[in-house]
Chain A
């Protein structure tokens, strides 16, 4: 049951109706049941996977907390122990806690790894076997449960935080299960943190007309992005990227820009629907995007795009890895060997590349995603190295902060990101590089003006809708810089206000692209 299906709309209306009718103390239980019903529609076996994650994470979280309490009680009872004795006891408890954490991580990330990466590993092994003319191993038939990457990461952030004693674990397994399975964010994020989401998830919520209406508007805005823009432009993107032999050169350039628009409208639209639904239920889900296409560098872009994933990797991979003992030892020995400059950089560089490798493979079990991730990391490191050069440039030419230079930076970032995403479009490293090169070798600008663009599956009216859509998206983002657009609209005269709402609603109904030769229900990030 996907966000764009009629079943989902029916499910949502029923849930919201019940949610505000039943006694408030049962609201979170209703959400839990609804989340499981929602997930059941993606396949009953998926319920088994998520339940295993919930139960194992819950059990270990209680165990970890029990050990912490045991330590506190022991040290309180035995105040007269020497400093050394206390240290020995703490170390003992610490190693037990570490063991439980490791078990939980290996178990749950293991499930994810086996389901998601077995066939990828087999395909690589088979390539080697073929090289030596040996028999290939047959592939396994494993269905990837929808949203497994999201809910596994969310559960692992919870267990690591409990291990770090950031907060007490949730003692009610039902509430904990709701945190992991909360349906609006189950299949494409954001990857919420327990201390954020739990503030409002279990609370009793009275109907609030303003919050509800703001949530509804956000849902509509999400559907507009998804159905009017993303689901329209996808036809052209697929025509170009599925036929690389026919559509190379300037078409690749057009395709990558179209894909930038599609991905933005699809993913941010999906998150708008998620956050909007949660808001209609009185629950706050943290923002996952801050106008990412206004970023002036790739580093800044990754702070503003899919924020919950970026901060997850930063908090649970990059920092722990960078400050780990082996990494500090590498730093020390490389400093002694190659000097301060190299020694200081080495752990950061290694950690950055490992994080981007992981980010790449998280997006998909194929080499194109790994190369895409690593290239992102390499560009970030190169730009870091260029910092002194940039500083010298800005000392000489006083352009920093001017509108023209900022615009140049924004366009440069969008083009760079879109070029990297060619790997995402073609899903094959070789084809992607060939297509990238063809942009420079077969640049036939004439295509833009000779009507060829109408052969991509879009007609003139589609292009008009897309141009208007892009203008609205940019206008919305510009308005948003000075505060909530919904607040601004709410303060306008009723005639104008309701015209905007009605226009938005009917534009989705009339201009939404419904099933034109593709699976209009599928959001791009559902596959992760």
Chain B
């Protein structure tokens, strides 16, 4: 989780990713951010996030995103 928070903070230093639960709904993360994020996650966790997992529920909070990474790692 620490590593994910670092990646997110690098992308948007002004956002508190520990508390924000509406990163997509509030348009904090746009499609450009999401692609950058997925590339960074791929490097850090060696997990590929497929296109169909790019839905608001998975990207609205750091917690949800970490849940997705764990699920994908588990499926792998």
Measured CB to CB, the residues of A under 8 A from B are: 164, 166, 314-315, 318-320, 322-323, 325, 328, 331-332, 344, 347-348, 351, 384
Contacts and interface: CB of A to CB of B under 8 A. Distances in A.
Contacts of B39: 323, 328, 331-332, 344, 347
B9 to A, nearest CB: 15
Nearest to B10: A340
B35 A347 contact: yes
Contacts of B32: 348, 384
B48 A319 contact: no
Interface string B8-50: 0000000000000000000000011011101100110000111
A323 B43 contact: no
A164 B52 contact: yes
Given A314-B31, A328-B42, A332-B43, A319 B51 contact: yes
Nearest to A321: B51
Contacts of A164: 52
Nearest to B49: A323
Given A166-B52, A315-B51, A332-B43, A323 B31 contact: no
Contacts of A344: 36, 39
A320 B48 contact: no
Nearest to B38: A323
Interface in B42-76: 42-43, 48-52, 54
B33 to A, nearest CB: 9
A323 B35 contact: yes
Nearest to A314: B31
Contacts of B36: 344, 348
A348 B52 contact: no
Contacts of B35: 319, 322-323, 347-348, 351
A331 B41 CA distance: 13
16 contacts: A164-B52, A319-B31, A319-B54, A322-B35, A322-B38, A325-B48, A328-B38, A328-B42, A328-B48, A332-B43, A344-B36, A344-B39, A347-B35, A348-B31, A348-B32, A384-B32
Given A314-B31, A318-B31, A348-B36, 13 more contacts: A164-B52, A319-B31, A319-B54, A322-B38, A323-B35, A323-B39, A323-B50, A323-B54, A328-B42, A331-B39, A332-B39, A332-B43, A347-B35
B36 to A, nearest CB: 5
A473 to B, nearest CB: 27
Given A331-B39, A347-B39, A348-B36, A323 B51 contact: yes
A318 B34 CA distance: 11
Contacts of B52: 164, 166
B66 to A, nearest CB: 18
Most chain A beta carbons < 10 A, residue from B34, B38, B50, B52: B52
B41 to A, nearest CB: 10
B73 to A, nearest CB: 13
Contacts of A325: 48
A344 B32 CA distance: 10
A321 to B, nearest CB: 8
Most chain B beta carbons < 10 A, residue from A318, A320, A322: A322
Contacts of B51: 315, 319-320, 323
A332 B36 CA distance: 11
B39 to A, nearest CB: 5
Nearest to A384: B32
A289 to B, nearest CB: 19
B75 to A, nearest CB: 9
A166 B51 CA distance: 12
A472 to B, nearest CB: 31
A348 B33 CA distance: 9
A351 to B, nearest CB: 7
Most chain B beta carbons < 10 A, residue from A164, A319, A348, A384: A319
